[in-house]
Amino acid sequence: MQKDFYIGVDISKKTIDVAIYKKEKASKASVCEKFPNSPNGLKEMKRWLRKCGVSLTNALFCMEATGHYTYELCLFLEQQEVSYSVQSPLHLKRSFGLTHGKNDKVDAYRIASYAYLHREDIKLSQLATNSIRKLKALMAERKSLVVEIARCKAQLKEVGSHSSSPGTIKRTKELLEFLETQVLDIEKDMAQTIDSDAELKNNYQLLLTISGIGIVNAVNTIVATHNFKMFDNARQYASYIGVAPFEHTSGTSVRGKTHVEPGAKMLKADLTGAVRTCINHDKEIQKYYERKIAEGKSYGVVANAIKFKLLLRMFAVIKRGTPFVKKADHLI
């Protein structure tokens, strides 16, 4: 995307550091400034940019993803109809070696220069729709209840093996029943949210045609990808959630830890259940699993590869707009 100005923003809870990268490469010192991370601070930033000769309509903002700290700036830019791109902090760190807490203005300038260097292929961002935000909140609520359900079941198993009070057992069972009812209610709300959005509903139904993909992984993926608008392909998304750290894997082990965004770790973990389902019920995956294990590959490496295969299937059905079709047995 060709622009005259590339604006890098380093965001923290209370402040934002803003740097301007011009085509003529002005010095860092003359084009960096700090502002409060607040509505008034953003208005102040806009006035400063105008004084610097920056036309917002001919500028591209770039920032790292910092959760809700990024929200105010993204909302402000969308209201001003300004182009912006939100990048993974790990991706920026690998590109420029950004180190937080040392020099925010330098980091802001590096982000601005990153936007300029990648101007031809940088992907623009947009805030999630109301439906996506609602699904995200419902999934978070559901996850907390599932944790409580697991705790209750473990407690029942423990009290059942000891001389516990009948009242304790009764109350725990009642709590478990209540929590399970709450999960069903949340899933009904999720279904209603999906049904209210035609594009969401279509993609959701396509995802459910894939073996092993149920409500959790389908909604997780829709939310994390903003309904498949934030990532161009499965490999990009796989790298984001830590399923495709190919440089760290070997035939029998995983060398070193995969660096994954904190919020993305659970997305990878939730795919574990899908892997088990596929190994048991999907003949193509089952044969692949048996072949790789026979070759001496560890379960972890093979499971990771199967997760990647599932992501490939998900992105494929969305791109084609048609349901997943299993291979005939004689073709496997």
CA distance 145 to 141: 6
| Residue 252 CB-half CA count within 13 A | 3
CB 326 within 8 A of CB 282: yes
Residues 55 and 196 in one domain: no
| Angle at CA of residue 61, ends 56 and 63, nearest 5° | 155
Residues 68 and 148 in one domain: no
CA distance 329 to 325: 12
Residues 140 and 78 in one domain: no
Residues 73 and 26 in one domain: yes
Give helix then strand counts, H and E, for the chain: 12, 5
DSSP state of 123: P
Take residue 130 and report the two structure tokens written for it: 């109301």
pLDDT of residue 249: 40
Take residue 129 and report the two structure tokens written for it: 């729709």
332: in domain: no
Residue among 153, 226, 135, 148 nearest 182 (CA): 148
Residue among 137, 321, 135, 129 nearest 230 (CA): 129
CA distance 203 to 188: 18
Indicate the residue among 89, 117, 145 that finishes a domain: 117
Phi, psi for 93 (deg, rounded to 5): -65, -40
Neighbours of 203 (CB within 10 A): 22
Residues 292 and 190 in one domain: yes
325: in domain: no
In the chain, the number of structural domains is 2
Quickly tell me which residue has 């805030």 as its tokens: 127
124: in domain: no
pLDDT of residue 232: 85
CA distance 76 to 219: 28
CA distance 213 to 238: 16
330: in domain: no
pLDDT of residue 28: 45
pLDDT of residue 253: 42
For 164, the domain range is: 130-320
18: in domain: yes
110: in domain: yes
Take residue 319 and report the two structure tokens written for it: 């791109």
Mean pLDDT by groups of 10 residues along the chain of 332 residues: 91 94 60 93 96 93 88 94 88 66 78 92 91 95 96 85 76 95 97 96 98 96 93 89 60 48 80 96 95 96 96 97 86 70
Residues 173 and 102 in one domain: no
- Strand arrangement, sheet containing 5-11: 32-36, 15-22, 5-11, 59-64, 83-87
pLDDT of residue 169: 87
pLDDT of residue 255: 46
Residues 105 and 138 in one domain: no
Measured between alpha carbons, how far apart are the two ends of the chain, in Å? 43
Residues 136 and 182 in one domain: yes
Task: Measure Cα distances from 31 to 21, 53, 108, 142, 243 in Å.
Answer: 8, 11, 10, 46, 39
Residues 113 and 134 in one domain: no
Write the pLDDT tens digit of every residue in 163-177.
668 888 899 999 999
Residues 63 and 136 in one domain: no
Partnered with residue 8 across adjacent β-strands are 19, 62
Residues 139 and 92 in one domain: no
CATH number of the domain encompassing residue 21:
3.30.420.40
Residues 160 and 295 in one domain: yes
Indicate the residue among 92, 117, 142 that finishes a domain: 117
239: in domain: yes
122: in domain: no
Indicate the residue among 117, 150, 175 that finishes a domain: 117
Neighbours of 164 (CB within 10 A): 14
